[in-house]
Amino acid sequence: MREVPLLAWRHLASRPRQSALTIAGVALGVAVFVFTVSMMDGLLVFFTQRLIRVSPLLTVLPERLDVNLAREQLRHAAPLEIVSISRVPVPDDRPTVRGATALAARVRSVPGVVGSSVAGATPVVLSFGTIAEPATLVGLDPGDEATVTELPRCVVQGRWDGLASRRDGVVVGRDLADRLGVQVGDRLAAVGDAGRARELEVVGIIATGLGSTDESTAYVNLSVAQGVAGWGGDEGTEIRLRTAAVANLDGLRRQVQAITGHRVETWEETSQASLKLFRMIGVTTYLLTGFVLIVAGLGIANKLTTIILDKERDIAILRSFGFSRGAVRGVFLIEGLLLGVAGATAGCIVAATVIEYFTIFPIRFAAREGAVLAYTELFLAKDPRYYVIISLAALVISAAAALVAVRRAVRVVPVEVLRGTA
């Protein structure tokens, strides 16, 4: 029936204030939801960008797959079965990659790998004057590292190249440097867990934006870390790789594993815990924000119920003229959808305006000590899909709310209403 939308529209237009309030409720729900998703995605994007900037995309780990294979073979062998195992290195307690330099060079030639660097991380205590702080000493080749991560660009005081020019140079994480009270040019002592000590000169302060790095990491030449940890000259705790692609690294990972015989992790696996945490926070936030939309839906149901109660007599009259139950249902469903569409549209406009405003005039706040991420500026992600998905959700909620309310309209029995009115 072509006039059904007209009936719906006139009902809404005859109560402009009520309709506007209901639309405002939906608009608020949509706007808050879009803004929250934009904020949460922005945070995740920000974190991911920082992560990709300063972390290797693939990491060759000390864990040897051939040892694992032999272990698996032995575990699954039948009683008294003879298992042939050959060329299996004897595992020891040294969590390092042996022959790391040669492996890094081999891996560098794999198509898709654009840079490699051997790194060795070992726990130390850094001392400056009377202050001592636990830290992770990461040894690396400063030149090779520049082909893998953007760490050199994160140096905020001094120079990354200082590591190349000074064999005892150290680049200290900004928060760690703050706690130690060191500046470029200061000399501090590093003591490894086996008691090996080394005096170092601060050649740079680095700020990556990632709490784990800035809070407790100091970068030195690989040979320095090897010396403090007591490793051999060709050992490292990982081989760090930069790949041309950022995503879909599984094929390349398998290829590198086959070449090195070591387990290889993608950056997503390495940071799985943090990424999961961010996603979980995101989901929780979406659920909480989703309630705003549901409340808006209740607003629609309430508004329609009010209209229906008020319009029972009109519904009875329409039914007496020959309007079917379906047509009556259609009137109120369309009303619900009109409110939903108007609310979603207004909400999207508000959200887009607010997001644009805070992009131009960003909110800045102080970094919190000990935070996982040095997040000092509200970073809002922009994606048209937010608007489409959230608007659709608002429409579904509006339609559901209308369906709930419309049951009463459909149940109106004309004669009962007319008898009551007479």
Partner 1 sequence: MARRETGVRGSGPGDRAVLVACGLVRRLGIGAAAREVLRGVDITIEAGEFVALVGPSGSGKSTLLYLLGGLDHPDAGSVEIAGEDLARVNDDALAKLRNRLIGFVYQFHFLLPEFSALENVLMPLWARGGGRSQEDRAWGLELLGRVGIAEKAGKLPRELSGGEQQRVAVARSLVNRPRLLLADEPTGNLDSANANAVYELFRELNCDLGQTILVVTHDTDWAVRSDRVLRLLDGRLVGDEKRREERA
Q: Is the dihedral of CA 46, 220, 237, 255 positive or negative?
A: positive
Q: List the one residue out of 353, 290, 362, 286 whose CA is nearest residue 37.
A: 286
User: According to DSSP H, which parts of 83-183 are helical?
Assistant: 100-108, 142-145, 162-165, 174-180
Q: Which is nearer to partner 1, 284 or 324 (CB)?
A: 324
Q: How far is the CB of 22 from partner 1 (least distance, A)?
A: 17
The residues facing 265 across adjacent strands are: 59
Q: Which is nearer to partner 1, 199 or 310 (CB)?
A: 310
Q: How many residues bind partner 1 (CB under 8 A)?
A: 26
* Site pattern 304..343 for partner 1 (x: CB under 8 A): ---------xx--xxxxxxxxxxx----------------
Q: How far is the CB of 16 from partner 1 (least distance, A)?
A: 12
> For residue 50, what are the CA distances in angstroms to 76, 151, 162, 245?
43, 10, 23, 16
Q: Which of 2, 17, 87, 385 binds partner 1 (CB under 8 A)?
A: 2
* Site pattern 361..400 for partner 1 (x: CB under 8 A): ----------------------------------------
Q: How far is the CB of 8 from partner 1 (least distance, A)?
A: 11
The residues facing 205 across adjacent strands are: 157, 172
Q: Which is nearer to partner 1, 159 or 313 (CB)?
A: 313
Q: Is 135 exposed, middle or buried (0-12, 13-18, 19+ CB in 10 A)?
A: buried
Phi/psi at 271 (5° precision): -105, 25
Is 203 an interacting residue with respect to partner 1 (CB under 8 A)?
no
Q: Which is nearer to partner 1, 3 or 199 (CB)?
A: 3
Q: How far is the CB of 314 from partner 1 (least distance, A)?
A: 5
Segment near partner 1 (CB under 8 A), from 175-183, 225-233, 298-306, 414-422? 414-422
Q: Which residue has the tokens 């559901």?
A: 400
Q: How far is the CB of 333 from partner 1 (least distance, A)?
A: 17
The span from the CA of 318 to the CA of 417, in Å, is 12
Q: Which is nearer to partner 1, 296 or 406 (CB)?
A: 406
Q: How far is the CB of 406 from partner 1 (least distance, A)?
A: 16
User: According to DSSP H, which parts of 14-116 are helical?
Assistant: 16-54, 65-76, 100-108
Q: Which of 247, 388, 415, 420 binds partner 1 (CB under 8 A)?
A: 415
Q: Which is nearer to partner 1, 197 or 415 (CB)?
A: 415
Q: Is the dihedral of CA 40, 43, 47, 49 positive or negative?
A: positive
Q: List the one residue out of 384, 388, 373 whose CA is nearest residue 44.
A: 373
> Quick check: helix, strand or coil at residue 131?
strand
Q: How far is the CB of 33 from partner 1 (least distance, A)?
A: 33
Is 414 an interacting residue with respect to partner 1 (CB under 8 A)?
yes
Q: How far is the CB of 334 from partner 1 (least distance, A)?
A: 14
Phi/psi at 306 (5° precision): -60, -45
Phi/psi at 63 (5° precision): -60, 125
* Residue 21: CB atoms within 10 Å: 12
* Residue 411: CB atoms within 10 Å: 13
Segment near partner 1 (CB under 8 A), from 7-15, 128-136, 222-230, 279-287? 7-15
Geometric angle at alpha carbon 178, from 176 and 184, rounded to 5°: 90
Q: Which is nearer to partner 1, 231 or 323 (CB)?
A: 323
* Residue 234: CB atoms within 10 Å: 16
**In 139-174, which positions are buried (b, 16+ CB within 10 angstroms) versus exposed (e)?**
bbbbebbbebbebbebbebbbbbbbeeeeebbbbbb
Q: Which is nearer to partner 1, 14 or 272 (CB)?
A: 14
Q: Which of 69, 279, 419, 420 binds partner 1 (CB under 8 A)?
A: 419
Q: How far is the CB of 51 from partner 1 (least distance, A)?
A: 59
Q: Which of 49, 272, 284, 421 binds partner 1 (CB under 8 A)?
A: 421
* Site pattern 9..48 for partner 1 (x: CB under 8 A): -xx-xx----------------------------------
Q: How far is the CB of 290 from partner 1 (least distance, A)?
A: 34
Q: Which is nearer to partner 1, 234 or 314 (CB)?
A: 314
Contacts of 166 (CB under 8 A, 6+ apart): 201, 203
Q: Which is nearer to partner 1, 1 or 309 (CB)?
A: 1
Q: Which is nearer to partner 1, 310 or 383 (CB)?
A: 310
Binding site for partner 1 (CB under 8 A): 1-3, 10-11, 13-14, 313-314, 317-327, 414-415, 418-419, 421-422
